[in-house]
Structure 1
Amino acid sequence: MVVELKSVPPAEAIAAFAQRKPNLVASFSWQDAWQEDHATMFTVAKSAGFDILSDISDALEKALKEGRTVRDFSRDLKPVLQAKGWWGKQLVEDPATGDLVAAQLGSTSRLKRIFDTNMRVSYAAGHWASFERNKAARPYLRYVALLDDRTRPAHRARHNLVLPVDDPYWDMWAPPCGWNCRCTLQSLSQRDVDRLQRQGEDLKFEPPQDTFRNFVNKRTGEVMRVPDGIDPGWAYNPGRAGYEARVNQTIAEKIADAAPELVDTAVQERVASSAFERFINRPQGSMPVMAIAPEIAEALSLDSRVALLSADTMAKQLARHPELTVDDYRLLPSLFSAATVAVQDGALSIVFLRLANGRWLHAVIKSTKSRKAAFLTSFRFTTEDRIPAIVSRPGARVIYDRRKE
């Protein structure tokens, strides 16, 4: 009897892509979305003004699930994109300036790059989920490069580099490390390491010294230091970014559905974790930060019992309030239970103020219009003399003021 073996869809890679798929963001330049942004969104450069993102993301998801090739992907997608006018070289408007710019839209080579990039990033996230799940038994990662005439010298220099899964070196040097990068990471046990050395593999346990160059983001004017050997926009860990975005979102959803007596404990544990510190420094997905007290849920007619901090808000916080530390953000869970003043500011918003260590904290949560979720939208230090202005806003309602107790 002949048994037909069927390939199994890469579940972790599919789940990683599914995490990004609902957040379709039209963009004009690849520099509009930078590094970790791609862990929680799907975009294609020069897509602004064209209704093509759903078509491309659907085709990529189908390719992942069905094991389709780039030829299949391009053959089916090309007529759809041509029908919508997203093909060939055209004059298109840059939404940031209003200028008409000559740009290459769809082409066979562009579809190949879109396919290759998204497949490699999705598989990297799937692999990283496996690395995290198995790191007790397989605590090391090995950098593996394809050693042919297309290999970048910096990537060749890192072939056979072996470091622990949690080593910070992988924050920057985790494949793919650029466009068309074919390098991968392989998880190893101590037995694997010993075996490879017995077989004569020249394993390296100290990474090469990094050198850097300047790169100017033409969209923002920001000058960045980019490691030599890594393409601009790729100096991060795509696999872990996708994995942690998915984990953060899943945990946030589970906490939101937990029994009320468990929500506060679950939020406290998550905010105390090392994952929260990584989220603060490199935002991905959403993170639960505040358990919502019954009186606040009633004031906002909320169904959810947890407030989330999104990656987008966290990125804005880093830009606007660089003085805030991880320890400051770890005060967030106590704001509901220990806030000194809570003021309802309109139908969807609550302002919290808390006196902590002689300093006043100011935080704002807002409900979505559906009342199904709440998000922290602002967090900073303030002073007590700002409270009267908040309380006296038109339509403001004091829920409680413990200064008077």
Structure 2
Amino acid sequence: MGFWRESHKRLHGIIKHRDDPFWKNNYPPNGFNCACRVFAYTKEQLQDRGWEAYTGELPDIAQKGFKGDSLADANKELEKIYREKAKRVAGINAPSKLIKAAILADYGRILENQKRWKEVKGLYDNPVIDKKIVIAHTSVLLQDLLHTQTKEIFLSAETLVKQKQKHKELGAFDYYLISHMGIKPLYKFADGDYSVVFVEKLGNKYRIVYKVTQDRKEVYVTSFLKYSKEDEKDFNRQIEKFKRNKKEIRDLEE
């Protein structure tokens, strides 16, 4: 108790973006009995406190055996737990088979989310022209709004490049969250081949524009916007503007 490594103490109060490569090798714990902790703050919280992210280079402080992607290691452990649970409940009786099915379904969703995050992060960091990824799956609501039966929603590198130029407040994680935003939108509007939805996720409000191709076989995210807490008035003005000029959908449910 009462002992702190000098190399760790020097990093106290340092703020790094969540996507900074520094975290790949230096996310705590970084050594035996390391008690360092990391706290997450939104951009708005940093601004309220007058804090700024540190953009300079930092030394690797992790001891041998502690370097590596902690999140990836945690995911491996989580996969191991699910496999063991599935094995224990397999083939015992009918109720256990139901439990097994539920566990395997959860496990499948975890793997799908991991894959989607990897693809989103890869496209965000390196938006190769002509490339597109599946950013989400269409809900029944969105299918009804766009008159399509397609199951996938795409994000193209071309759109992402334009978005990053116009909306620097959006990070890779925001785009990843699109797949979790389609169930209960705050507001929804139809405009021909386009559908505009306003959603709230993790305390933030977003506007997503979806477009279906003329043959109704593909759906794309063509615009994505994030509102900060300071943008609440602008958010409300946008809603009122859409209500005046677009067709608001009120009677469709997921």
TM-score by length of 1: 0.31
Structure showing greater radius of gyration is 1
TM-score by length of 2: 0.49
Task: Name the structure, 1 or 2, with higher relative contact order (CA <8 Å, separation 6+).
Answer: 2
